[in-house]
Amino acid sequence: MPSAQSGSQVNQNVASVSQPIHLSTIGAGAWGTALAHVAQRSGHQVRLWSRRSAKTLPEVIEGANVILSAVSMKGVRSVVEQLQGLSIPKEVIFVTATKGLDPLTQKTPSQIWQDAFPDHPVVVLSGPNLSKEIMQDLPAATVVASRNVEAAETVQVLFSCDTFRVYVNTDPLGTELGGTLKNVMAIASGVCDGLKLGTNAKAALLTRALPEMIRVGTHLGADPETFFGLSGLGDLLATCDSPLSRNYQVGYGLSQDRTLEDILEHLEGTAEGVNTTNVLIKLAKQEDIAVPISNQVYRLINGKITPQQAVQALMERDLKAEFDDLDL
Ligand X SMILES: O=C(CO)COP(=O)(O)O
Ligand Y SMILES: NC(=O)C1=CN([C@@H]2O[C@H](COP(=O)(O)OP(=O)(O)OC[C@H]3O[C@@H](n4cnc5c(N)ncnc54)[C@H](O)[C@@H]3O)[C@@H](O)[C@H]2O)C=CC1
Q: Which residues are catalytic?
A: 182
CB of 99 to ligand Y, least distance (A): 4
Only segment of 77-85, 103-111, 244-252, 291-299 that touches ligand X (CB under 6 A): 244-252
Whichever of 92 and 233 has its CB closer to ligand X, that residue is 233
Q: Distances from the Cα of 34 to the Cαs of 24, 82, 133, 165, 270, in angstroms? A: 13, 23, 9, 14, 15
Q: Is 235 annotated as a binding residue?
A: yes
CB of 239 to ligand X, least distance (A): 5
Indicate whether 29 belongs to the interface with ligand Y (CB under 6 A). yes
Indicate whether 71 belongs to the interface with ligand Y (CB under 6 A). yes
Instruction: Reduce the DSSP state of residue 83 to 3 states and report it.
Output: helix
Ranges within 119-138 binding ligand X (CB under 6 A): 128-130
Instruction: Reduce the DSSP state of residue 158 to 3 states and report it.
Output: helix
Q: Who's near 276: CB < 8 A, 6+ residues apart? A: 73, 99, 100, 101, 180, 181, 183, 184
Whichever of 193 and 272 has its CB closer to ligand Y, that residue is 272
Give the C-alpha separation, 92 to 113, whole Å.
Answer: 13
Indicate whether 239 belongs to the interface with ligand Y (CB under 6 A). no
Among 269, 285, 304, 325, binds ligand Y (CB under 6 A): 269
Q: Is 42 annotated as a binding residue?
A: no
First-to-last alpha carbon distance for the chain, in angstroms, is 12
Whichever of 10 and 205 has its CB closer to ligand X, that residue is 205
Give the CA radius of gyration of the chain. Answer: 20
Only segment of 96-104, 155-163, 290-298, 304-312 that touches ligand Y (CB under 6 A): 96-104
Q: H or E stretch including 164?
A: strand 164-169
Nearest to 21 by CA among 141, 144, 128: 144
Indicate whether 235 belongs to the interface with ligand X (CB under 6 A). yes
Residue 95 near residue 70, CB atoms below 8 Å:
no
Residue 323 is which amino acid? F
Residues of the shown chain interacting with ligand Y in the complex, contacts defined by CB under 6 A: 27-32, 50-51, 70-75, 78-79, 97-100, 129-131, 269-270, 272
**Binding-site residues for NADPH, please?**
31, 51-52, 99, 131, 246, 272
**Binding-site residues for sn-glycerol 3-phosphate, please?**
99, 127, 182, 235, 245-247
